[in-house]
Structure 1
Amino acid sequence: MAEPAARPEGTSGGIVIKDDWPGYELDLFSYPAHYCGDLDCVFIPHGVIMDRTERLARNIMDDLGDHDIVVLCVLKGGYRFCVDLVDRIKSLSRNSDRSIPMRVHFIRLKSYLNDQSTEDLHILGAEDLSFLAGKNVLIVEAIVGTGKTMETLLKYVEAFRPKLIKVAGLLVKRVPHNAACLPDYVGFEIPDRFVVGYALDYNEYFRDLTHICVISKSGKMKYKI
């Protein structure tokens, strides 16, 4: 599927999935029957996501162990990744002489219509983040494209004067001009393809997929608004 790679200039440092990666055939995996015909392939299987998430949890433990952390989960797409990442950090803490006391807060960003990002970014649940003052903050996001949305969010969070901000992103897309705002912890660097599943949606559909998949043209048409 993908191979770990050294971090060339301008890349994210995650596991690099190459542009010509075709994905896995759908009939090799289980997925909801109501999405039959709506997907091209399984791009990243659930088990691979879990293994990579555990490695990211270890990296976070190495960097932030023994520090209180406020986890800022970006909804809706980031909730599965956040839950699994926090669970693995907790598991590591239970079996280590280092521990990370954590509290989790949820915010929601909305900037997509169909498969296109819009200029109109809404931040919900972030009206008062004054409790972040002096705290170590870990922002957990499912996917970073151009980085403009993350850049806007970081500026917003920085205004509340946290002690430290780190970002964990499950996916980073290889798109032009995204190197300026990359997450500190990256799961996978992927081609510029529209992916769904593992809580990533297309107009609120496909969040119930376990795997990360590529939506088909017919799927886009079927659920377009």
Structure 2
Amino acid sequence: MKRIKLLDREFELSIPYQEIDEAIEKIAVKMNKELAGTDPLMICILNGSFMFAADLMKKVDFPCEISFVKLSSYEGTGTTGTVKELIGLTESIEGRTVVILEDIIDTGITIEKIVKQLDGYKPKDIKVASMLFKPDACKADINVDYVGLDIPNDFIVGYGLDYDGYGRNLPDIYTVVE
């Protein structure tokens, strides 16, 4: 397996870009069926979801808008357990279908917070799309409508995910070597 080093950690290739792209295609096909005619607002959670959002937006074939919010709950290789809102939403979502685009759902803390916040703005519907999902790590009671890949509860980098800011630019996903 291909190995890389970021800062003080080694990582090995776990999900090549081709597999990521196929998972995104699967999500897009489902969205194209379910969201046609709804004019949704896609909300990309920064920083990690930027690559997923960009690739997904190329594959959906219905009219939609995209906006960006920035939430943070990670430091190093673990969650801090708290979510800090850094940049908020400026568009009105009242009466609209909203689709949250997340890079990864592990504990579910971040997505649970944003769904609760968005629900207060009275959208018609809130859907959640996540490129990656860690079912063994999820502690929140959340509904994930679109999942690219279920993965084990390992620390990963690449394809928008980082280790202390590094690795987001990698097209593949790598797992930390313990």
TM-score by length of 2: 0.92
Query: Which stretches of structure 1, 4 residues or more, deviate above 6 A after TM superposition?
Result: none
Deviation sequence 1:59-111 (CA, Å, 0-9, x none)? 0011111220100000000000001001111xxx2xxxxxx211111001111
- Please give the alpha-carbon distance, in whole angstroms, between the structure 1 residues aligned to 2:5 and 2:137: 35
Deviation at residue 39 of structure 1 after TM alignment = 3.4
Ranges in structure 1 where 5+ consecutive residues have no aligned partner:
1-24, 28-32, 94-99, 218-225
The code of the aligned residue for 2:151 comes to I
SS in 1 for 2:18: helix
Deviation at residue 154 of structure 1 after TM alignment = 0.4
Question: Which residue of the partner structure matches residue 45 of structure 1?
Answer: 16
- Please give the alpha-carbon distance, in whole angstroms, between the structure 2 residues aligned to 1:156 and 1:37: 36
SS in 1 for 2:56: helix
Greater share of helix: 1
Deviation sequence 1:132-188 (CA, Å, 0-9, x none)? 111110100000011122111100010111111111001111325536214110011
Ranges in structure 2 where 5+ consecutive residues have no aligned partner:
none
- Please give the alpha-carbon distance, in whole angstroms, between the structure 1 residues aligned to 2:84 and 2:14: 29
- Please give the alpha-carbon distance, in whole angstroms, between the structure 2 residues aligned to 1:104 and 1:128: 11
Cα RMSD (Å) of the superposition?
A: 2.0
Q: Which residue among 55, 71, 80 is the counterpart of 1:84?
A: 55
Q: Which residue among 121, 130, 135 is the counterpart of 1:169?
A: 130
Structure 1 pair 64/127, CA: closer, same or farther in 2 (3 Å)?
A: closer
SS in 2 for 1:146: coil
What does 1:1-225 correspond to in 2, within 5 Å? 25-26=1-2, 35=6, 38-89=9-60, 93=61, 100-126=62-88, 128-129=90-91, 131-178=92-139, 180-217=141-178
Greater share of strand: 2
TM-score by length of 1: 0.73
8 Å contact kept, 1:37–1:216: no
- Please give the alpha-carbon distance, in whole angstroms, between the structure 1 residues aligned to 2:48 and 2:144: 16
- Please give the alpha-carbon distance, in whole angstroms, between the structure 1 residues aligned to 2:6 and 2:109: 31
8 Å contact kept, 2:6–2:166: no
Count of aligned pairs between the two proteins:
178
